Amino acid sequence: MTTKILIVDDSATQRQVMRELLAQDPDFLLVGEAADGLEALELCHKLKPDLVTMDIQMPRMNGYEAIRRIMSETPRPVVVLTSSYSDRMLGISFKALDSGALMVLGKPAGLSMPQIERERLLGQLKAMAGVKVVGRRWNRLEHPKGQKASSAVSPTAGGGHIKLICLGASTGGPPAVQSILQGLSPQNTPPIALVQHINLGFVESLARWLSETTGFVVEPAKMGSRLQPGKVILAPENRHLNVLKSGVVRLIEADLIDGHRPSVTALFHSAVAFGSSAVGILLTGMGRDGAQGLLDMKSAGAWTIAQDQKTSVVYGMPGEAVALGGASEVLPLGSIASRVTKICASRNKTAGDKQ
């Protein structure tokens, strides 16, 4: 199936590099090029590309505004290409995701780049072109009450204190995670362990961005780190994140699980030891990582939540979990934080009354 693509970059040289790169894959059809955001918006309306590659720093209309306008007026997948992995550009990257971009990748250096890197970039673009995007900023909306999956157990009954919240996300995940953390109180929230699939070189900046925009302390995990209330431990690159009931964090250099390292399933499986004192949350993402792990947590007594299809950028991971029966509850993104707050408050009160 041919993928129609629009290149947006104010650099003629960079557009040429992308043009030549795309020409190597017959599945791509270059339908247009734009030198600024305003021209990109016009061409999106006119050409209706399957995918847009977007620069950020451009005249007339920058990439942020172009992404917001595209997602509002003519929604389609947008992948941001950055030329630098400096702290400044990485900060720009997460602002782009918050504006509605699906993914941020490094710009190709030229056709001299290794074949494996060319193939990886083209593969990522092809995968993003198949994502069905929504026409509004889903994490800024008021969502309807979610549907409960069948379950004989109330999330606020039994189990004692909630001692751990596990979060897993992939494509579309950073703004979704940000939205949930912004809806929680660092002072009244148990420790949080997070696995977010993200490209190499972005973990430190993701932690910094979430810390600056949510009020939580978010840190990449280190061997021997300890879980702390109001703190988010983020899986580092190329290692699985495990949590022990003692509160100690372990990093495992093992094979890929569900195609990933770090893997959401690896985190969720380790959280089985917490039983009913844990909550597992699986958010938007491609593939099936986390689905089996969420079922493992549910089987051990944890309350498990899957993001619903309407508010997911990609309903792969949460959809697979729902299909397996791993979700105690299916909720829109905008309802998850309040639900978790209610569960923690009710459980803590019940546990206190029993003392």
What residue type is 317 in one-letter code?
Answer: M
Residue holding tokens 């206190």? Answer: 352
Catalytic residue (one of 50, 98, 179, 197):
197
Q: 27 catalytic, yes or no? A: no
The total number of residues shown for the chain amounts to: 355
Give the CA angle between residues 119, 123, 126 to the nearest 5°: 140
φ/ψ (deg, to 5) at 265: -60, -40
Joined tokens for residue 48:
């209706």
d(CA 223, CA 203): 16
Coil, helix or strand for 9?
coil
Question: In sequence order, what are the beta bridge partners of 285?
Answer: 315
Which listed residue (9, 10, 93, 170) is catalytic?
Answer: 170
Does the annotation mark 269 as catalytic? Answer: no
Contact yes or no for 306/164 (Cβ under 8 A):
no
289 carries an active-site annotation: yes
Other C-beta atoms closer than 10 Å to the C-beta of 195 total: 29
Under 8 Å between Cβ of 332 and 339: no
One of 36, 55, 98, 289 is an active-site residue; which one? 289
Residue 161 CB partners (closer than 8 Å, separation 6+): 190, 277, 347, 348, 351
In sign, the C-alpha dihedral spanning 32, 96, 314, 197 is positive
List residues with catalytic annotation. 170, 197, 289
